[in-house]
Structure 1
Amino acid sequence: MDSQKHLFSLDQAVHYLNCGSKSPLLKSAEEAALAALVRARNPFKTKPEDFFTLPKEVKGRFAELINCDPLQVALIPSTSYGFATALGNITYKPGQHAIVLEDEFPSGYFSLKTWCDSNHAELKVVGPDKETTTQGESWNKNILESITPETAVVLMSSVHWVNGLRFDLESIGQKCKTVGAIFVVDGTQSTGAAEMDVKRFKIDALICASYKWLFGPYGMGIAYYGHAFEGGEPLEESWLNRTNSQDFANLTKYDHEYAEDSGRYNVGEMSNFILLPILNEGLKQINEWTVEGIESYCRRLTAPLYDYLKSLDTELEDESYSSAHLFSLNLPEDVDPELLKKNLEEKKISVSNRAGKLRVSVNVFNTVEDIEVLIESLESSRLFK
């Protein structure tokens, strides 16, 4: 795959290496959103079936991406909504505990902390060995060892949002399955840019914000709820989530049955006529590119950056634990942070500062030039060359 920058309206003067913060808008998504706004001028053109057609299409595209039944997909407004839905349907037994990652993203941490507080359960925070310079091997080992028959739920990100560290979801999911723990994964920072297979990884709930690697809008997310959540209680009682919701003439013949499978977990007003077309275009494009193609492109694109850092004897995480699309830079010791900040601003390089680390996140809209300019900025920020 070559760079797909032509499919975006990115400012040509900016080197946008920050998809982990927010993705740019696809031109096709922009067109779809504008068309939706035009349609909204005349509400009489909206038919009853329009409340359901696009949600069904979006769910099908997401299901293709993560290998599940479209009926197991729900539309949500945010990850916190998705976590609350999952945790609200996990029963606590005396003596059980929950597991979360060290420095987990706040939405996941606070959601699980609230569940633990409500159930008077212990919250175990698992991190890497402190003496290691690279974290992948020990962190994954510590997670697996912490999962026991007393574990009620494991809630964790698929890759760490600060540094892009990859977790062995397949082994962790299998351990959860073996001991009977519910496995809830925040897929926000990898789904769409790295492999996500809920069946193979034995994930019970996958919760994703859409405005990063799914090229969706802020304010709309998407989730998978597996068999562990069949027959559960939703957060709200949306009329759209009932089996007779498509029969507009008989809505007050109250049907107490929910829509099939995860349909009960859809947020109210799931048919968002402005935002949903954006998410649909993002998912459509990702499935056309394929995740394998995206990941391969990102790894090839960033290879010169890794080679540069290796030439300066910089300690790097083992590739088996490194994400191709999202990573933090262990900077050479002679790099002046203030000078680097100045150089990044002058070169119009957009990256993130996460937990004091320089986080770089690339996608198919990035080019060789973006990486070259970043390397130039790093090199010109060194004090002793």
Structure 2
Amino acid sequence: MPLQQQKHLFDIPEDICYLNTANLSPSFKSVETAGITSVLEKSRPYKITGYHFFDAVTELKKEFAKVINAKDYNRIATIPSVSYGLANAAENITLQKGDEIIIVEEQFPSNYYVWKKIADRYGASIVTIKQPEDREHCGDLWNEAILEAITEKTALVTLGNIHWANGLVFDLKAIRQKSRQHNALLIVDGSQSIGALPFDVNDIQPDALVCAGYKWLFGPYGCAYAYYGSYFDNGIPFEENWSNRLGSENITGLTHYQPEYKPLANRYNVGESGNFINVSMQIEGIKQVSQFSPKDIQTYCHSITKDAVKELKDIGFYVNKDEQRAKHLFGIEIPKSIDGEQLRMALAEQNIYVSFRGNYIRLSCHVLNTKADFDKLLRCIKSVMTLV
């Protein structure tokens, strides 16, 4: 049976048209309940046990491992942000002078600054692959340009599964194959795709995957996840905290200082990873979103957006081809005939929430949305056009 809208799982007022999950997801009601319950538990700290600090974190890792089809949850680290996960990776990468780090044009800043820092440290360079001007074949040409740029000088390729602003899909499997031929690392930012777009860590085999948890995994702000492959198995985390050491569950023996880390990615967990309020909300968010397959989410999002996309194109907006972009997140370019600020004001007045990215509007949807949301968006846009 095709996936149906699930607005009843959220506390979204009927007059609100929220097309901005790519910015910040609303909470499932179950996530809200988990958070409130945990806040109340803090009022009675004598009821908080070792489960909250250790077992719950393990449960969370197992849930995220299922999402990306990781065989070993010990390859998952719970972290507070994408930048944290990337920083741990960067601290364990040594470059040679003249090495190249490949990124794509207008990549999200967190996946640029960290690499610029180590490039400067080692005398390496950042190679930015620009978005092709040929709109008709933009996605294919961009992927071709990335593959051509990978050479014997390439030490690292780092990018998202999709472009965070316009939704164009990158061919990670082909990029992985080419990067491996040149012994280059592949690090993926899955913040705008994991949970909403099919992804199998065994298929892509990245050296690391980092992912914000407050977007398509519906966790609270301040949560993220990282998967680290074998390259990082014996790395040194840039933060030392007691809970990442072997045997840390034995609270009475903490001052018997332990030189060994817990296995694999556990060493990269953030300090206070057992934040039981945050963790309980994360678990509920992932459990709920895991009830919908990413493939079904893509099909559902396409079904509620396809008519609007066709009409937007008819009235002068530019949208990338369906086969080149994600269906849960995509950009629409505002025609020069429309006053962008006037459109922004009109959307706000009608309680339509989107993201503006330069001359583009980024639209993002999920099971909380319906075709009626996009009909409302169209009516608003057309009302502004009649004023020109």
Bin for the TM-score computed over the shorter chain: over 0.9
Partner in structure 1 of residue 157 of structure 2: 154
2:115 counterpart letter in structure 1? L
Alignment pair present for 1:100 and 2:103:
yes
Provide the C-alpha distance between the structure 1 equivalents of 2:80 and 2:345, rounded to a whole number of angstroms.
37
Partner in structure 2 of residue 37 of structure 1: 39
Partner in structure 1 of residue 59 of structure 2: 57
Q: Cα deviation per residue 1:286-321 (whole Å; 9 max; x = unaligned)? A: 111121222211111111111212434654322222
Alignment pair present for 1:88 and 2:91:
yes
Q: Which segment is superposed worse, 60-69 or 338-347?
A: 338-347
Residue-pair matches, total: 385
Partner in structure 1 of residue 199 of structure 2: 196
Match of 1:264 among 252, 264, 267: 267
TM-score by length of structure 1 reads 0.96
* Structure 1 vs Structure 2 CA RMSD: 1.7
C-alpha displacement of 1:13? 1.4
C-alpha displacement of 1:283? 0.6
| Contiguous gaps of at least 5 residues in structure 2 | none
Provide the C-alpha distance between the structure 2 equivalents of 1:360 and 1:168, rounded to a whole number of angstroms.
22
Paired residues of 2:333 and 2:359 also in contact (CA < 8 A): no
Alpha carbons of structure 1 residues 253 and 338: separation in structure 2 relative to 1, 3 Å? closer
Alignment pair present for 1:125 and 2:128:
yes
**Helix, strand or coil at the partner of 1:136:** helix
| Contiguous gaps of at least 5 residues in structure 1 | none
Partner in structure 1 of residue 81 of structure 2: 78
Provide the C-alpha distance between the structure 2 equivalents of 1:31 and 1:157, rounded to a whole number of angstroms.
32
Q: Where do 1:210-249 residues align within 5 Å?
A: 210-249=213-252
Q: Cα deviation per residue 1:51-102 (whole Å; 9 max; x = unaligned)? A: 1111111111111111112110001111111111011111213331111111
Q: Cα deviation per residue 1:201-249 (whole Å; 9 max; x = unaligned)? A: 1211111111111101111111100111110011111111111101112
Provide the C-alpha distance between the structure 1 equivalents of 2:358 and 2:152, rounded to a whole number of angstroms.
33
**Helix, strand or coil at the partner of 2:128:** strand
Partner in structure 2 of residue 28 of structure 1: 30
Provide the C-alpha distance between the structure 1 equivalents of 2:135 and 2:16, rounded to a whole number of angstroms.
36
1:322 counterpart letter in structure 2? R
Q: Where do 1:161-176 residues align within 5 Å?
A: 161-176=164-179
Partner in structure 2 of residue 325 of structure 1: 328
Q: Cα deviation per residue 1:131-155 (whole Å; 9 max; x = unaligned)? A: 5465211111111111112111111
1:277 counterpart letter in structure 2? S
TM-score by length of structure 2 reads 0.95
Q: Which segment is superposed worse, 41-50 or 82-91?
A: 41-50
Provide the C-alpha distance between the structure 1 equivalents of 2:11 and 2:342, rounded to a whole number of angstroms.
30
Q: Cα deviation per residue 1:123-177 (whole Å; 9 max; x = unaligned)? A: 1111122354652111111111111121111111211111111111111111112
C-alpha displacement of 1:358? 0.9
Alignment pair present for 1:344 and 2:347:
yes
Q: Which segment is superposed worse, 262-271 or 324-333?
A: 324-333
C-alpha displacement of 1:43? 1.2
Q: Which segment is superposed worse, 334-343 or 187-196?
A: 334-343
1:36 counterpart letter in structure 2? S
Partner in structure 2 of residue 359 of structure 1: 362
C-alpha displacement of 1:31? 0.5
Provide the C-alpha distance between the structure 2 equivalents of 1:343 and 1:237, rounded to a whole number of angstroms.
50
Paired residues of 2:354 and 2:363 also in contact (CA < 8 A): yes
Paired residues of 1:335 and 1:378 also in contact (CA < 8 A): no
**Helix, strand or coil at the partner of 2:77:** strand
Provide the C-alpha distance between the structure 1 equivalents of 2:367 and 2:198, rounded to a whole number of angstroms.
16
Partner in structure 2 of residue 308 of structure 1: 311
Paired residues of 1:19 and 1:361 also in contact (CA < 8 A): yes
| Percent of matched pairs sharing the same residue | 39
Paired residues of 2:319 and 2:331 also in contact (CA < 8 A): no
Q: Cα deviation per residue 1:347-374 (whole Å; 9 max; x = unaligned)? A: 2100011123111111110122111101
Q: Which segment is superposed worse, 354-363 or 74-83?
A: 354-363
**Helix, strand or coil at the partner of 2:276:** coil
Provide the C-alpha distance between the structure 2 equivalents of 1:141 and 1:192, rounded to a whole number of angstroms.
26
